[in-house]
A and B are shown apart, each in its own frame.
Chain A
């Protein structure tokens, strides 16, 4: 029994010697209990971290292509509601945009999401993939590895494939050749992109080969870069005047914004993962309340003693909250470390861009501190009610 009191008395003894971390002593007095409480809080935190990570991965994967556009401005059909909602237009309109003052370059990006069937060369089955195409002199997509290999696409019927595509496409096994829509293609290199929630794999080719694979498909976007010093808004106005009214001119930021809003609205990803995070928070609060309440119950005589010695409520509450904050950290740190490993594992298996970000780290830490401090606030009443005369 005396071992329980030790931390508080040690604190009292050392009082004259300046600030002593009483909350720290309280937390670490019993190692098995610390382990138990940090495991309990930690798993609740891990649950929140996984849900936050999945949510971010979902949106990141749907935004990856737009992020990779080497563009200041993007020209596309006004009827588009999502980047992957195919709505091609005549490619010569892109050349027209190139002549507008203030535009450094305007290059077409060709794209298809519905009609490109890639044959897995290892089992002969055909699968729907997405295809992007551009002029090899102007590789407008900045996926890692594309710029360095774009010149290889000048050869007819050559393609680059996504080595992070889903394994059943056979792209990760580096085939030398295959077929798209029944036409022989040579694989001249690969790049790393990964599937999103719509496409399993991606092929990149030249505009010339694209026209042979998907005859009659126009340009999907005009990728515009601005001349140095050009006024962006003025260029947008000039482009809109030069182009027919069924084409829109958007900044990359607007494009990203629209895509994020669309995905949030039509997919259930936002509410699904938010609900998981909330459940993690509630569970974490319940666990931390139990932990803190149990600690305080055991240390009640010591707190009563402190009270009897004349310590103020403010000091006692401060100590309890500090202890709760430390419990939060004791749960969050191992959960964070564990999540780094889990993120990596799941990202590799599920081919989703699951990665730790500053935002996820900060949000999860704030939620963890929040749940522990709220629990402590609820539990602290017991300490305040402690009557020195009663507890002994």
Chain B
């Protein structure tokens, strides 16, 4: 009875209801967008890790986040290779280099040095491309590298930090927050390109375990084997560390977090506005219902049902629009904003809370519905 009543009230004035739906639609869309950014930034920071094949990550005790990893002596990597549970360790080295293209600007490119002949990426297409790195002074460039670097065609000769290098091809992973452009290079070429860095230190070690070894346990054992000289992350611990870095140590958390809160408040305001004006317009009708025996409680539930109906009707198109908007944002900002199940559920839960709060606020107006007064 309550839901049909709510339905009739909403269906009675279609224009007003459509307007309210539009408002709630925009509010829910805004919640999706702010939450999208809030989560996309840490995800952007995790971009490289998400595309690497490893069970455990060896990192310096000075490790801050991916772009500030600290240095790791190669001998620690060698010691880990001897451990019985370890199948392989792939050292990664990072550096910035000047892309010295002629007389114009010289943009900085993020260079990742990696061992030749190891398929360390999750994408087979990228692993296949790595073959080119065996050639001397050859680099691969990420497809997302900005236009200011000029054409990225294979065979183009460029100068990096005064060294002649040849572009061996492009690969597709994304640049995340690593910089304006990213290049891959074999470790021998890396040592030639950055003579001061040499081969004595790496920045990270990708550890793969032998089949059947439990990662968390192995992480603790291997850390002990190194005598606490370095830190070993499981994949989950590493992801948690990076997310914590981006949300607490940068302004990202507070900027998009506050945007999210305001979006929710705005949603509550729109719903409340709609419900309250419906109640005040239908006050005589509500008073009549009261006079014929409906309780305050029943009427309150009717208001809640109205809120939920409006919300459900607006949520579906908002979800679809958000999915579309996410793909626009992905293209425009190169941030990995994606619709996931968890996000869908989170926004839906937030929307339900919005409906409940606005219904609660507007129910106060019902108490004014005294049959004796309104006629």
Contacts and interface: CB of A to CB of B under 8 A. Distances in A.
A160 B255 CA distance: 29
- In the complex, the 4 A-B pairs of residues with the closest C-beta atoms, listed nearest first: A268-B333, A79-B106, A81-B105, A286-B23
Contacts of A358: none
B255 A79 contact: no
Interface in B230-275: 249-251, 254-255, 258-259, 262-263, 265-266, 269-270, 272-274
A266 interface: yes
B276 A36 contact: yes
A50 B262 contact: yes
Interface in A39-68: 39-40, 43-44, 46-47, 50-51, 54
22 contacts: A36-B273, A40-B273, A43-B265, A44-B266, A50-B258, A51-B259, A78-B104, A80-B106, A81-B106, A87-B98, A125-B62, A166-B249, A168-B249, A272-B37, A272-B333, A279-B30, A283-B266, A287-B270, A290-B23, A290-B277, A291-B273, A350-B254
Given A50-B258, A286-B26, 17 more contacts: A40-B269, A43-B262, A43-B266, A44-B269, A50-B259, A50-B262, A87-B106, A128-B64, A272-B37, A272-B333, A283-B270, A286-B22, A287-B269, A291-B273, A293-B19, A342-B258, A346-B254
Interface of B: 16, 19-20, 22-23, 26-27, 29-30, 33-34, 37, 62, 64, 68, 70, 96, 98, 100, 103-108, 146, 148, 180, 249-251, 254-255, 258-259, 262-263, 265-266, 269-270, 272-274, 276-277, 280-281, 332-335
A51 B258 CA distance: 10
Contacts of B98: 79, 87
A279 B254 contact: no
B333 A271 contact: yes
B164 to A, nearest CB: 17
Interface string A272-285: 10011001101100
Contacts of A50: 258-259, 262
B105 A346 contact: no
B335 A268 contact: yes
Contacts of A46: 262
Contacts, number: 119
Contact of B266 (A47, A78, A80, A166): A47
Given A279-B26, A290-B273, A126 B262 contact: no
A24 interface: no
A349 interface: yes
Q: Select the residue from A36, A81, A168, A283 with max chain B CB neighbours within 10 A.
A: A283
A294 interface: yes
B107 A81 contact: yes
Given A80-B105, A85-B108, A351-B251, A346 B26 contact: no
B354 to A, nearest CB: 12
Nearest to A39: B269
A279 B105 CA distance: 37
Given A46-B262, A272-B37, A266 B180 contact: yes
Q: Select the residue from B255, B259, B334 with max chain A CB neighbours within 10 A.
A: B255
A37 B108 CA distance: 51
Contacts of A80: 105-106
B105 A350 contact: no
B364 to A, nearest CB: 9
Contacts of A40: 269-270, 272-273
Interface residues of A, number: 51
A283 B259 contact: no
A200 interface: yes
Contacts of A342: 258
B299 to A, nearest CB: 19
Contact of B105 (A37, A54, A79, A287): A79
Nearest to B15: A293
B258 A346 contact: yes
A392 interface: no
Contacts of B107: 81, 85
A114 B96 contact: yes
Contacts of A166: 249
A120 B37 CA distance: 31
A47 B262 contact: yes
B333 A279 contact: no
Contact of B269 (A33, A43, A350): A43
B100 A79 contact: yes
A286 B269 CA distance: 11
Interface string A166-178: 1010000000000
B99 to A, nearest CB: 10
B333 A350 contact: no
Given A271-B333, A350-B255, A290 B19 contact: yes
Given A268-B335, A350-B251, A350-B254, A36 B272 contact: yes
A290 B269 CA distance: 12
Nearest to B262: A47
A268 B266 CA distance: 24
A127 interface: yes
Contacts of A78: 103-104
Q: Select the residue from B26, B96, B333 with max chain A CB neighbours within 10 A.
A: B26
